[in-house]
Chain A
Amino acid sequence: MRIWSLLLCLCSASLFIGAAFPGKADGPGHEAERIFQRAKAEDFKGDEYCAACHEDKVANFAGSPHAACMSSDKLPLGKRGCEGCHGAGGVHQDENNPEVVSFRSMTPKESSAACLRCHESTMSASHWKNSAHAKADLACVTCHKIHPDSEPQWADSSFKRGKADDLKKPLFTAAAATKSLLMADEPTLCGQCHTSEIAQFRMNSHHPVPEGQVVCSDCHTVHPSKESKSRFNGVNDKCVTCHTEYAGPFVYQHDPVAGNSGDGCLECHKAHGSANPRLLNTFSRGLCAQCHTEKLSTHHPGQSCWNTGCHVAPHGSNTDPYFLKP
């Protein structure tokens, strides 16, 4: 009952806010859609027409995974080759009102909408606009490069750690190779904004991101796609993707590991890096004692609760209710 009351309050508040701050009307579709709708069939001239002026760009585009996908004759004209993204050459060269879809000069919202003309088959506009990255005013081209020679340009953006060419300098020397279509290797790219997480990776105990064995997207769904939506979500499900030995279910479960309390694995571990061994939140037996307070020093004083041959299976056990055996 309480939830429905709250929902009613939120909806009322939303309606009030929506009415109070109407904003600008979006008009008929987005900018790219308008430019494409303007084009007639004869305005689409093909890649050779573009190469007359943009020879390097056209040659370089052949090295992009997009090139193979956009070269099919079966595709509609508005989704083929250079003009599939940038609009018809005839419109670009129109004497009266030349227009082109320029991803870097549009607003992030318009730029992303232009990409979703095709990519809506893998990620809906709704999924994208509700992602934290869209809400932070990022565009697809903030992180992705479509032309292999694209230079990172963080126009009108201050959320970068250094100069625009910072992305050419990996934050971690041994980081994993840059994936195709990304501006840089993942820690360097994500670290432009997520600075405190990068600082955590420098700590003594960390997930091996600096060593190139793990990348950010192994754990984080950077933007929700339909494929990733179909996976199980939740903190623990993410962790047991790699730490499969803790997937259980165990006969004797430890509540945090089973996801029954609070933040799951994060009740004991830090996700990125920690000063304590094995990414623990706390050092030694203090970890267990933060909940099991009565066991701090009077219960078998010694070292860590799990290292002294006692609670050797803290994640769960099939044989012992006190996790003394696996």
Chain B
Amino acid sequence: MRLNRRTVSLIWLAFAAAASWGQDGQQAGDTNPPTTEASTAITQWGTLDLAYGDWAIRGNRHKFLQYSTPGHGFYIADMNLVFPLKANSPYASIDIAAPGLETSAVSGLMQFFHGQTQLWFNFSRNEFSDPGSGPVEPSTSKLTTVTVSQAITPEIGLFVKYHRDQKDYSFQAAKDPTATRTRTTTASLEGKALGGDAAVTYTDWRFVDMQGFQPESVQRRLTGRYGIQLTPAIGLEGSLGQTRIEQTGYQDSEIKSSSIGGDWDIGPDTNLRFNFSRDSFDLPNVANAYVQDRFNSSFNLTQYWQRWNFQFGYRHRENERVTADHTYVDVPKFDQLEAKATGRINKAIRLSARWTWNRATDPATMDTTDSRLLYWDQRVRAQAKIDANLGRLLGYATYNVNYTRNTDRQVDVTTGTVTFGGSFSVADNADAYFEFSNSQTKAKGLSDVGGLDLDSFYPSATTLALGGNWTVKPNWWLAASYTYLFTDNDNPLLLPDGNFRGRYLTASLTHQFGNGNEAALTVAPWQYRDRIYDNVGYDATMVMLSFRVRF
């Protein structure tokens, strides 16, 4: 771990300041010790988190910034305000995170006229990097969402949402950068009607590719839905939808959707749910075979019995396909059976098991050079999960298995994932937790003449997380977590990001003053190593000092 001199000086200065400020609070706390419970009972209308952050990265900076850019320098980490001015008044809350930095967000909620008018807003910006080791410009994503709901009558409401998504992405050579803009406006009127409830929704979706690789696209979608509780035991719901797609330079396309479903309480502990839906596609520009009509049906029977819940389901899907000249090809059909059981073995142990089996009963016809089926024709998914609450020890274990088979091509892929973990109260003032997950995949049946084996492209992956929390003394907390990632990959083509090891330690010391304010120091030495390419990895030592004021 290597920190620069400026960071170290700032940490000492800030902690010295916090400690001297904390003296009064601590003395006050001595006479009336503020426990955790007491502090949460403080009626607070806002918090302000001021922070200083430093990363000290050595190596591949882009990998470190793959998903977002953490705060750095002096900044406002978070400011949260609630405005309940007085009883019977408007309500507003606002949250501002890292304003002015590369990754920032502002969100809030406002309610007027006793909640009859509500406004939600969210503005966010995220800056990140394509994770390769070569030179690359930062990518940015800017999101704007504004939603308004208005109660027209006590039983009818209008809902309008505007969303804008601006993406300017840069990639490692030789992939071209992309710049897209998407605007979505949705208006929905919903409420009680004709003894049931109804909704009409209109959506206008516009997509622009600033580079011109894709045509400008507009989708206008109108949907209607009506649901009614016919009897206390039987409910029905139906919907209709139509989408028109306009693409510059192409003919218009159209999608029509309809569905009907419902549920029937056969007894107090027995419920049958069913749904039928159909989607019809008219896509005149599509030049390869595509689905013209899609039909789905599903049934689900739920039975409650003592502390158990059993579910059995069946799904059927038919796809009517047409060729490029839009003549009939075939109707691939798929059946799926589902079963699930959830319940308690005793008061301390809860068990859940689920299983699905999907198979193609009428596989698709392939109009390709190699006419063998390209789709999986069998899939099995199963999960068993157990949770146990044994007082000081809480534990869980999950096992997932996914099996897929392409009979024509004689390919079987089986992935098993085991996850287990738990937490243990070491003492009244300390607890520890851990989590281990390992995923293994086996691909069989394909022998390739070129010497490569499909199985060698399925890596096994392991993640381990462990940590603990310790109340060192009243109002002083120490927390640490360690995450370890490891991939075992044959990687026959010796590509980057295929054989890696990540070690992420994050430790923080927090002190709460008598008035509820907090100071925290977080130190996080992180290491990522690609075992084939040195220049892909990085070492970073993040240091963050934060001060939270409650008011």
Contacts and interface: CB of A to CB of B under 8 A. Distances in A.
B448 A14 contact: no
Interface residues of A, number: 124
A158 B387 contact: yes
Interface in B445-464: 446, 448-452, 454, 456-461, 463
Given A19-B267, A203-B485, A258-B291, A56 B213 contact: no
Contacts of B82: 63, 148
Contacts of A60: 43
B314 interface: yes
Contacts of A244: 165, 180, 182, 207
A98 interface: no
Interface string B184-203: 00001011100001010100
B357 interface: no
B40 A151 contact: yes
A199 B463 contact: yes
Contact of A253 (B290, B348, B493): B290
Interface stretch (B9-17, B19-27, B54-62, B432-440): B432-440
A223 interface: no
Interface string A31-70: 0000000000000000100000000100110110101111
B394 A212 contact: no
B403 to A, nearest CB: 13
B311 interface: yes
Given A158-B394, A196-B400, A208-B67, A296 B448 contact: yes
A71 B88 contact: yes
A229 B131 CA distance: 37
Contacts of B217: 247
A208 B68 contact: yes
A26 to B, nearest CB: 6
A67 B295 CA distance: 46
A15 B214 contact: no
Nearest to B91: A68
A15 B266 CA distance: 6
Contact of B417 (A176, A196, A202, A289): A196
Contact of A247 (B190, B207, B417): B207
Contacts of B449: 297-298
Given A180-B109, A212-B68, A292-B374, A195 B435 contact: yes
B263 interface: yes
A211 interface: yes
A156 interface: yes
Contacts of B209: 245
B214 A245 contact: yes
A213 B241 CA distance: 31
A286 B457 contact: yes
Given A23-B269, A158-B388, A286-B456, A126 B43 contact: no
A219 B305 CA distance: 32
A250 to B, nearest CB: 7
B431 A163 contact: yes
Contact of A203 (B207, B264, B297, B463): B463
A309 to B, nearest CB: 6
Given A245-B180, A304-B495, A289 B457 contact: yes
Contacts of A173: 506, 522
B457 A287 contact: yes
A17 B454 contact: no
A63 B43 contact: yes
Interface in B137-170: 141, 155, 157, 159, 165
Interface in B290-324: 290-291, 297, 299, 301-305, 309, 311, 314, 316, 319, 321
B229 interface: yes
Nearest to B310: A17
B413 interface: yes
A283 B443 CA distance: 13
Contacts of B214: 245, 318, 326
A229 B449 CA distance: 50
Q: How large is the interface on B (under 10, 10 to 19, 20 to 34, 35 or more residues)?
A: 35 or more
Interface string A58-101: 01101101011111101100000000000000000000000000
Contacts of A11: 272
Contacts of A303: 493, 495
Interface in A252-302: 252-253, 255, 258-262, 274-277, 282-287, 289-294, 296-298, 301-302
Contact of A135 (B283, B309, B489): B309
A67 B88 CA distance: 8
B497 interface: yes
A152 to B, nearest CB: 11
A302 to B, nearest CB: 7
Contacts, number: 362
A293 B454 contact: yes
A105 interface: no
Given A18-B270, A158-B389, A249-B253, A284 B457 contact: yes
A210 B182 CA distance: 25
B535 interface: no
A93 to B, nearest CB: 22
B114 interface: yes
A296 B32 CA distance: 71
Nearest to A267: B376
Of listed B67, B78, B105, residue having the most chain A CB within 10 A? B67
A175 to B, nearest CB: 11
B41 interface: yes
A180 to B, nearest CB: 6
Interface in B478-519: 479, 483, 485, 487, 489, 491, 493, 495, 497-498, 500, 502, 506
Contacts of B423: 161-163, 166
B480 to A, nearest CB: 12
A26 B542 CA distance: 57
B450 A301 contact: yes
A229 to B, nearest CB: 6
A10 B302 contact: no
B406 interface: yes
B227 interface: yes
B114 A135 contact: no
Contacts of A294: 370
B531 interface: no
A67 B388 CA distance: 38
Contact of B266 (A17, A206, A229): A17
B283 A136 contact: no
Interface of A: 3, 6-7, 10-11, 13-15, 17-19, 21-26, 47, 56, 59-60, 62-63, 65, 67-72, 74-75, 121, 124, 126, 129-130, 135-137, 148-149, 151, 156-163, 165-166, 169, 173-174, 176-177, 180, 195-196, 198-200, 202-206, 208, 210-213, 226-227, 229-232, 242, 244-245, 247, 249-253, 255, 258-262, 274-277, 282-287, 289-294, 296-298, 301-304, 307, 309, 312, 318, 321, 326
27 contacts: A14-B264, A21-B270, A25-B268, A65-B91, A69-B114, A72-B88, A124-B197, A126-B263, A135-B309, A136-B309, A151-B40, A156-B347, A158-B349, A177-B80, A199-B465, A203-B463, A213-B68, A227-B188, A230-B199, A244-B165, A249-B245, A252-B288, A283-B498, A286-B456, A290-B443, A296-B454, A307-B175
